[in-house]
Amino acid sequence: MAKFQEVVNSHPLVLVDFHATWCGPCKTLAPILKEVKNKVGEGVKIVKIDVDKHQQLSAQMGVRGVPTMVLYKNGTQVWRQSGVVPASQLEALLQTHQN
């Protein structure tokens, strides 16, 4: 958990994607995240966490379904959603919090 906090605090805007290799919607979300990253650039750090490899962290974070995305601004959680989110909605969310 301490390493996770370090990562979340390492950049002003961090989007954490809790996912699983066996999850269909997670596979749908992966190219969306790549597209969003290309558009918003260095303004956001995107971190992918495999819930099967990091079960304790996932439990501590209250992740009950995948994909679950959590956005942190300056180390504080400001948004959280489960399921696939369209690229346009994610971009708008990130741009809102970049200012």
Q: Which residues are catalytic?
A: 23, 26
3-state secondary structure the chain: CHHHHHHHHCCCEEEEEEECCCCHHHHHHHHHHHHHHHHHHHHCEEEEEECCCCHHHHHHCCCCCCCEEEEEECCEEEEEEECCCCHHHHHHHHHHHHC
